[in-house]
């Protein structure tokens, strides 16, 4: 007797996680992008500090106005021109502020917290269900269906990991990014990507179970 959640409960849980993540961060949920940014956290932190220098739109507009006045000579005769530059910049930046902010990635610490929460959630679920154990194989199903040789298992997992990483980079996202967030937003590229990798998974599973 399996003590796993029913499929519909898992679907509801994934939907709630995706919706809440989007509402809280105003970004799409994606695990592969989170891994990429956390692995390169030093470069991400430098990028965040660089962006923070230009976060104050008013200060940047003041600097542009002052530079304009200095460039064109006498401040008394060009102050109005500098004020016009500042007003024009502030007006245009106010219109674009929301869209520009939505294009910026969330802080890398937020995505690190997401990855830690995935591990913590899996551990809590396994412990509370009484299924937690430390093991170094993929279980009886993998041994019966694929291989029982530990060296072959390591080789297959390593090759599979490389292919997943390559495919994720090539497709611009993983199953969580495209399948949950992208399809939920009806993005054409996500619909196509999800259809391809799920269709491939169904085909490979069919070959393993019915042919091999």
- High-pLDDT (> 90) share of the chain, %: 4
DSSP H helical ranges for the chain: 7-25, 31-39, 41-52, 57-71, 75-103, 108-129, 140-145, 150-171, 183-184, 188-206
Q: Is the pLDDT of residue 60 over 80?
A: no
Q: How many residues does the chain have?
A: 212
Instruction: For residue 174, count other CB atoms closer than 10 A to its CB.
Output: 22
Ranking 20-24, 80-84, 197-201 by mean pLDDT, the lowest is 80-84
Q: Is the pLDDT of residue 26 over 90?
A: no
What was the pLDDT predicted at 116?
A: 92
Q: Is the pLDDT of residue 45 over 90?
A: no
Alpha-carbon distance of 91 to 46, in angstroms, equals: 29
Q: Is the pLDDT of residue 209 over 60?
A: yes
What is the rounded average pLDDT for all residues in the chain? 77
Q: Are 115 and 34 in contact (CB under 8 A)?
A: yes
pTM for the model stands at: 0.62
Average of per-residue pLDDT across 61-85: 62
Q: Are 32 and 108 in contact (CB under 8 A)?
A: no
Q: What is the pLDDT of residues 107-153, one digit of tens each?
A: 888 888 888 998 998 899 888 888 888 877 777 777 777 777 888 88
Alpha-carbon distance of 89 to 67, in angstroms, equals: 13
């Amino acid at each position: 007797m399996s003590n796993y959640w029913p499929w519909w409960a898992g679907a509801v849980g994934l939907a709630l996680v995706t919706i809440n993540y989007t509402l809280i961060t105003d970004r799409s949920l994606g695990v592969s992008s989170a891994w990429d940014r956390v692995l390169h956290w030093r470069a991400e932190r430098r990028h965040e500090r660089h962006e923070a220098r230009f976060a104050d739109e008013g200060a940047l507009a003041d600097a542009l106005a002052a530079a304009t006045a200095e460039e064109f000579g006498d401040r008394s005769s060009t102050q109005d021109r500098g004020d016009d530059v500042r007003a024009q910049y502030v007006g245009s930046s106010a219109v674009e502020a929301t869209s520009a902010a939505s294009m910026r990635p969330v802080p890398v610490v937020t995505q690190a917290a997401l990855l830690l929460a995935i591990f913590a959630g899996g551990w809590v679920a396994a412990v509370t269900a009484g299924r937690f154990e430390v093991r170094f194989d993929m279980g009886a199903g993998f041994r019966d269906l694929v291989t029982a040789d530990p060296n072959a298992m390591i080789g297959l997992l390593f090759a599979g990991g490389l292919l997943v990483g390559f495919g994720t980079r090539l497709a611009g996202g993983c199953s969580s990014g495209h399948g949950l967030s992208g399809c939920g937003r009806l993005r054409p590229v996500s619909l196509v990507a999800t259809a391809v990798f799920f269709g491939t998974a169904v085909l490979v599973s069919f070959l393993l179970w019915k042919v091999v």
